[in-house]
A and B are shown apart, each in its own frame.
Chain A
Amino acid sequence: MKCEDYRARLPEYWEGALVDEERADLEMHLAACAACRGEARSLGEIWRGLGNIPEAQPPSDLRRRFYERLESYQQGALETPPGPSWAARLRSWLPTHPAWQIGLAAAMLVVGFFAGYQMDNRRDAAQVSQLRAEVNNMRQLVTLSLLQQQNASERLRGVTYAYRMAESDTEVLSALLETINHDPNVNVRLAAVDALHGFSGSPVARRGLIQSLSRQESPLVQVSLIDTLAEMKDEQAVPALRTLAGDQAANPQVRQRAEWALGRLSH
């Protein structure tokens, strides 16, 4: 191999990406060739220096703008474009005689006046509820996307987003339950249990929490689940709590807490 070939391997060498054999080969060459050794030293410094340049952080409204556009794109994709014959069809309905045209115009005016009078009251309410629906859709999207991330702190952010959701949102609810049961990170699971407090009115949420009780292995999460169930005062939790309280393999503190919760629920 020529010097040029060895040098082309330097970036991988600095990254630690060479296999043992290649690395040993390169190191042997560097030991023997002063020119390559000098280049490796000075450029290695540059390479490492590049690693110190902080990554540019995106502005905060980048995310907001993306979700807004995605939302409107989805709406645009759902609405079917009007057919080309629309205007023609309308024209065939309209009268051709001037007298009828005037009559129709007058009738439309009257209808329009009354309709306008009626609509005025409803319009504001309709706009507000439409806006509210749009905001909710966006929050749901952010929550669900964040809960999918590899990074635990991103998933935590997803869970905190869930607090802003309406209780009736079943998709977010099932994503939270999924997180409680399957997220590898204890902190994320704990946060999800807390977030489910907000869903305490939902029978699905309560059933999910009860089922999760037998699946959890982390005592921290178990205790948090028990506390939540005790607070919800749901008697359906009694059998699951009883099983846990009698489970010899379970953590003693968890069993004690289950016992305590049973006491509260039986009152």
Chain B
Amino acid sequence: MVTESDEKLMAAVRAGDLRKLAVLFERHHRALFSFFVHMNGNRDLSQDLVQDVFFRILRYRHTYVDGRAFPAWMYQIARNASIDTGNKRKGELQLVTNREDDEDRSAREPVSELVAADEAIRRRQEIDLLRRALARLPDEKREVLVLSRFQNLAYEEIAAILGCEVGTVKVRVFRATKALGEIYFELAGERAS
């Protein structure tokens, strides 16, 4: 089956073929959901936001410009949706531990030997610590890091989403990693002492 590009599908949605939105939804809703969970730490809120983004896309479909990269446009809408609800629900940021997801992953990796079990525990602790460090990172730093590390977006796309130069994105990604590292090692030190 020939797969249509995101941009072609979005042009069709704009022209009134609303069913094509379902294809875009199937392609992007997982990544979008994970983006929101990283940003607000709340699964219920993130689920609502994913819905919200796709219906904003419908409502503002006439503003989509031909040839514009769809993911960049979608994440821009996502950021606005996040800001709109984030302002309403400020201070609710909570840390999700995502036990289901963790178990999912460890179930896929054969942990048959004791050494491997030990390694799995160590890795889980590290993931836990990283999650806590991420949650402490200021929003704008966490955002640029999530977009580049988890959403598989090219720097050019991130630059389009954030409305800045590609060079700026690179510097910001590095600074966010550095800030994350500082928090991480601080947390690790607290635990060791």
Contact = CB atoms under 8 A, between A and B. Distances in A.
Asked if chains A and B come from one complex, the reply is yes
Interface of A: 4, 7-12, 39, 42-43, 46-47, 49-59, 62-63, 65-67, 69-70, 73-74, 77, 141-142, 144-150, 154-155, 175, 178-179, 182-183
Given A53-B127, A65-B51, A148 B178 contact: no
A46 B15 CA distance: 45
B136 interface: no
B26 A7 contact: no
Contacts of B19: 70, 74, 141, 144-145
Interface in B13-38: 18-19, 21-23, 25-27, 29-30, 33-34, 37-38
Interface residues of B, number: 54
A145 B22 CA distance: 6
A77 B58 CA distance: 11
Contacts of A69: 51, 55
A176 to B, nearest CB: 10
Nearest to B38: A56
Nearest to A9: B170
Contacts of A47: 149, 177
B29 A56 contact: no
Interface of B: 1-4, 18-19, 21-23, 25-27, 29-30, 33-34, 37-38, 43, 46-47, 50-51, 54-55, 58, 96, 98, 100-102, 104-105, 123, 126-127, 130-131, 145, 148-150, 155, 167, 170-171, 173-174, 177-178, 180-181, 184-185
Contact of B130 (A53, A58, A70, A144): A53
A47 B149 CA distance: 8
A50 B149 contact: yes
A52 B123 contact: yes
B1 A155 contact: yes
A190 B34 CA distance: 33
A64 to B, nearest CB: 11
18 contacts: A4-B171, A7-B174, A12-B170, A43-B177, A43-B178, A50-B145, A50-B149, A50-B150, A51-B149, A54-B98, A55-B30, A55-B34, A55-B101, A69-B51, A73-B18, A142-B22, A148-B4, A149-B23
Contacts of B30: 55, 57-58
A61 to B, nearest CB: 8
A59 B43 contact: yes
A77 B47 CA distance: 24
Contact of A55 (B43, B145, B150, B155): B150
Contacts of A8: 167, 170-171, 173-174
Contacts of A11: 148-149, 170, 173-174, 177
A111 to B, nearest CB: 39
